[in-house]
């Protein structure tokens, strides 16, 4: 009776695994090293109302924008970025959030009722992709 030894995996399995690893590595490198566009649109909400849209790719110099809401809030708009710089709220979490540059990033000052969200120019309003 001849006994054949079974290998853990065949050569073609190794080729498939290597191809999958190369594809995954390429996608990871693209995501990690892609230069952020900074070309999104900043949407400023007071309460549930969209009060302002700022095309960050068209901003050429730094500007301070004051938002009148329940509490006074100041935003700094610079080329490709926006951030909270001042708020009358007690904890200042919105200021500590930092600079927003890429679609999907957001910050909010809940006591003032002000929120800033960066959306993509091409898919404004799209938060996810369904498959």
How high is the pLDDT of residue 5? 67
Structure token pair of residue 80: 């490709």
**CATH code linked to domain 41-119:** 2.60.320.10
Query: Mean pLDDT by 10-residue block, N- to C-terminus, for the chain (131 residues)?
Result: 66 81 81 62 93 91 92 93 93 92 92 93 55 45
CA angle 10, 12, 13 (to 5 degrees): 65
The residues spanned by each domain of the chain are 41-119
**Which of 77, 86, 85 is closest to 55 using CA atoms?**
77
How high is the pLDDT of residue 81? 94
How high is the pLDDT of residue 4? 67
How high is the pLDDT of residue 116? 95
Q: Cβ(41)–Cβ(121) under 8 Å? A: yes
How high is the pLDDT of residue 11? 77
Q: Cβ(125)–Cβ(119) under 8 Å? A: yes
How high is the pLDDT of residue 112? 92
């Amino acid at each position: 009776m001849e006994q054949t030894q079974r290998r853990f995996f065949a050569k073609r399995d190794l080729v498939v695994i290597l191809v999958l690893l190369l594809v995954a590595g390429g996608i990871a490198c693209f995501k990690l090293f892609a230069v952020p566009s900074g070309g999104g649109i900043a949407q400023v909400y007071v309460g549930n109302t969209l009060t302002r849209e700022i095309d960050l790719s068209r901003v050429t110099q730094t500007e301070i924008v004051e938002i009148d809401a329940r509490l006074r809030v100041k935003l700094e708009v610079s080329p490709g970025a926006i951030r909270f710089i001042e708020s009358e709220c007690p904890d200042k979490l919105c200021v500590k959030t930092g600079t927003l540059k890429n679609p999907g990033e957001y910050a909010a000052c809940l006591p003032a009722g002000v929120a800033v969200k960066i959306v993509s120019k091409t898919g404004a309003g799209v938060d996810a992709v369904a498959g």
